[in-house]
Amino acid sequence: MRGHGFLLANYVPGTSLIHRMPLWLKFLLVLACGMASFLIVDWRLAAGALLVMCVLFLLSGAGAVRLFRAVRPLLPILLVIGAFQWWQLGGPVAARIVLNILLCVVAASLLTATTPLHRLLDGVVSLARPFRRFGADPERFALTIAIMLRSIPFIAGAFADVRDSARARGLERNPRALVLPVFITTVAYARHTGEALAARGLGEPED
Amino acid sequence: MTQTHSAGTLQPAKRNRWNATDLGLIAVFAALVAASALVAAIPVGGLGVPITLQTLAVMLTGLALGPGRAFAAVGLHTLLGLAGLPIFSGGRSGLGILAGPSAGYIIAFPLAAAAVGWMASVIIRRTVKFRAVFLFAAAMVASIVLIHGLGIAGMMVNAKLDFAKAFLADLPFYPGDIIKNVLAVAVAIALHKAFPDLLVRRVRKVPQQPATPEAPKPEASAQQ
């Protein structure tokens, strides 16, 4: 089976204060940082908040390497934005914009680094709970998430298989030959999954 | 954020309740969007937002599943990506995406899938000839209005660019999008030939069918 690595990409086990914080509190922290990026107008305040978040990240035991890895994909873009806005709007405003984006990214990666994936998914499922009176069904929602997670490796494998077989027929430059079989496989796989669920009495609406 | 939250809740709350096959299609197409984001990413454009097969998968989800299920599938992908699963392009994830310059694109994906799905379901029911042209037009409208529109808005909000600059930063994506939409329509037409009851199954419940000279469909489809 290929492509399982994504399931344990971000979590760092630990027992720090942030690890033991309830998920909703961490979520509120991320939300507050997101709001702050619209409210903070002084770049020194933004730098201070970013420093606090970085210290929290390091205290959680995730390490400086992970902190850098969380920020790295954004760095070239932020450099372009920062240089451009410095030229357009001046140094303090450019610093505020870049620091606020960094603040949000560090806060969000603090959440994912200190919460195991199954807890995060439980949190997502619990989002559906308040809507139960409108007909939402958290169990079917959770079932759909579980099927999706187990399908990702299968489909990533299908992409690789189709690419191999296209290359074997000398069609590696033909986009239709590279993409169409994956989609046919996907629909067939989805239908088989649906039939398997129905055969076990799962996933049907109750009423 | 609000769109992605409603993705989870809209799902079971529909009047025409989804059965197990619909759940399977939603879950597996959400996985398809995730897998296509992970396969290969090419950074293009002024702000370095990577181009992937992801928009192709989003459009095809709409063209294949119709508005409701496509919105649920792509919305599920967005929701789980925001929750921290590394399934956005380039293996990124988390709520931090909403602060970056590509936030608008991420939010636009479920809406674009729903829009193109609605147009596709109308086209598949009403037209016989020139379907490819109509489907391509639908895909282009959805990607220009929703994906590029919200993408530009996202860059304006998060990178504080003005409209002209954000428009220029978005422009390099157009050629790739046109190619991907052509490919999406070609694949969608083949998909609807291979699975004729994928999108229009609910029409078959109507007692008196209009005599359309369409491709032959299986009489009793997989529906129980």
More confident residue, B92 or B21: B21
Flag if B31 and A175 touch (Cβ within 8 Å): no
Q: Tell me: domain B2-12+20-200, CATH 3.10.20.30, correct?
A: no
Q: Which residues in chain A are closer than 8 Å to B5, comparing Cβ atoms?
A: 127
Q: Is B42 helix (H, G, I), strand (E, B) or coil?
A: strand
- A94 and A16, same structural domain? yes
Give the CB-side neighbour count of residue A13, counting CA atoms within 13 A: 1
* Residue B179 or residue A2, greater confidence: B179
Could you give the number of structural domains in chain A?
A: 2
> What was the pLDDT predicted at A96?
79
Q: Answer whether residue A57 is part of any domain.
A: yes
**pLDDT single digits (tens) B21-36:** 888 889 999 988 888 8
Residue at A100 is within a domain: yes
From chain B, the residues in CB contact with A128 under 8 A are 8-9, 12
- Between A137-151, A189-203, B44-58, the lowest mean confidence (pLDDT) is in B44-58
| C-beta atoms of B12 and A141 within 8 A | yes
Give domain status of residue A93, yes or no: yes
Half-sphere exposure for B166 (CA within 13 Å, toward CB): 20
Q: How far is B5 from chain A (nearest CA, A)?
A: 8
pLDDT for the residue B91: 64
Q: Could you tell me which residue, B52 or A65, shows the higher pLDDT?
A: A65
Strand partners, B43: B50
* Contact flag A136-B11 (C-beta cutoff 8 Å): yes
pLDDT class of B41 with cuts at 50, 70, 90: low
| pTM of the complete model beyond 0.90 | no
Host domain of residue A193: 129-199
Query: Is the pLDDT assigned to residue B79 strictly greater than 80?
Result: yes
| Domain boundary assignment for chain B | 2-12+20-200
Mean of per-residue pLDDT scores for chain A: 78
Based on the domain organization, do A46 and A135 belong to the same domain? no
Phi/psi zone of residue B56: left (φ > 0), alpha (ψ -120 to 50 degrees), beta?
A: alpha
A98 with A173, same domain: the answer is no
